[in-house]
Amino acid sequence: MEQTPIPDDESRADLEAILQASLDFGVRVQMAGGYTARVRDSVQRVALNLGAEKAEPWVSSASLGLVVHRDGWSRTSVRNTPMFGVNFTELSSLSQLAKQSAGMTVEDLRSRLAALADADRRYPMWLVLIMLGVSCGSFAAIFGADAVGIAAAAVAGWAGSLTRYLLHHRHFKPFIYCLFAALVSASVVSALASFTETYESAVIASILFLIPGVPLLNGTADLLTSNYLNGLVRLTRAAVIITGAALGLALGLAVWGQL
């Protein structure tokens, strides 16, 4: 029995829906902290599972593009991606969704993506700031600080992370908010320097919340998977953050005469 061919308009509309849904998925992966190869593989897998015959994604540091082919048609689209964040819980859920997308319709995938986006798994900011302070105090304890040094590092870590949050919320650049965050943290510890014999350990621990672990890891992963341009972009961003933190620490020590 001869099959009825799919009308051209319907075929193009279906392909466009596959394209846009796959890009939506890729943007979520990149926003959650996925490195380049992970984003590319996820987008390609989802597009093929949704019915594309061929999918050709490309990923840059601030955009995501995809070309999909089916029934002799091809569609292309490019998206700008927001500033990178880190949400490993969502990233893990997206990886599972990519594996489960075989046989899904575009509507099914969009509904699952919407459910992931609506499920806010982030901790309250006040709790995050407190725990950042606790982590800095814990590092001070590991470094051998005394009780006053541990308390100073914890308070300084909280104050510095609050400064970073407020400046970032007002759209300051990473170099600026890291500089002032380190300056505040170093100043808090320096103000209490006369009460502790382990000042050096406390002041070092107080700025460790500024270490850009995810950009360093993702940049290295990009280099190891031959995504050299994106890897250099991520590592350069990490270097800018570290430079700002180092300068802020130096300024804080200089202001309090501890340099």
| 93 and 139 in a common domain | no
Q: State which H helix or E strand residue 231 sits in.
A: helix 228-255
Neighbouring CB atoms inside 10 A of 28's CB total 22
> For residue 242, what pLDDT is reported?
96
Q: Is residue 38 located within the same domain as residue 135? A: no
Instruction: Mark whether 113 and 201 lie in a shared domain.
Output: no
Is 231 inside any structural domain? Answer: yes
Give me the mean pLDDT over the 228-250 stretch.
94
Inform me whether the pLDDT recorded for 118 exceeds 90: no
Rounded to whole angstroms, the Cα distance separating 111 from 244 reads 41
pLDDT band at 2 (very low <50, low <70, confident <90, very high): very low
Q: What is the residue whose two structure tokens read 């990519």?
A: 98
Picking from 199, 132, 205, 202, the residue whose alpha carbon sits closest to that of residue 164 is 132
Question: Looking at the domain assignment, is residue 12 inside a domain?
Answer: yes
Dist CA 175 CA 249 (whole Å): 13
CB neighbour list of residue 213: distance below 8 Å, 6 or more residues apart:
none
Residue type, 23: L
* 144 and 106 inside one domain: no
**Residue 236 host element (H or E):** helix 228-255
Look at residue 9 in the predicted model and tell me its pLDDT: 67
Q: Which of the residue ranges 68-82, 171-185, 194-208 would you say has the lowest mean pLDDT?
A: 68-82
pLDDT, residue 177, reads: 96
Cα angle at 58 between 41 and 222, to 5 degrees? 65
User: Is 113 a residue whose pLDDT tops 50?
Assistant: yes
> At a CB cut-off of 8 Å and minimum separation 6, what does 195 contact?
148, 152
Contact 67, 56 (CB under 8 A): yes
Tens digit of pLDDT for each residue in 4-25? 444 566 678 889 999 999 999 9
Q: Are residues 194 and 218 in the same domain?
A: yes
2 in a structural domain: no
Task: Read off the pLDDT of each residue in 120-132 and give the average, rounded to a whole number.
Answer: 88
Task: Report how far residue 33's alpha carbon sits from residue 35's, in angstroms, rounded to the nearest whole number.
Answer: 6
Among 118, 138, 165, give the residue marking a domain's end: 118
Domain range enclosing 44 = 8-118
Q: What does the pLDDT read at residue 8?
A: 61
The mean pLDDT of 197-226, rounded to a whole number, is 93
Residue 26 clears pLDDT 50, i.e. is over it: yes
- Condensed to tens digits (0 to 9), the pLDDT of residues 41-81 reads 999 999 999 999 999 999 988 889 999 999 888 999 999 88
Asked which of 118, 142, 167 is the last residue of a domain, the reply is 118
Q: Is there a domain that residue 138 lies in?
A: yes
Tally the domains of the chain. 2
Band of residue 141 on the pLDDT scale cut at 50, 70, 90? very high
In this structure, which long-range contacts are made by residues 168-174, counting pairs with CB atoms below 8 Å and at least 24 apart in sequence? 174/237, 174/240, 174/241, 174/244
Mean pLDDT of the chain: 90
How far is the C-alpha of 116 from the C-alpha of 100, rounded, in Å?
14
**What would the mean pLDDT of 233-258 be, rounded to a whole number?**
93
Q: pLDDT at residue 217 above 70? A: yes
Q: Is the pLDDT of residue 165 over 90?
A: yes
- Mean pLDDT over residues 183-195, rounded? 94
Which residues fall within 8 angstroms of residue 127, CB to CB, at 6 or more apart?
Answer: none
DSSP class of 149: H
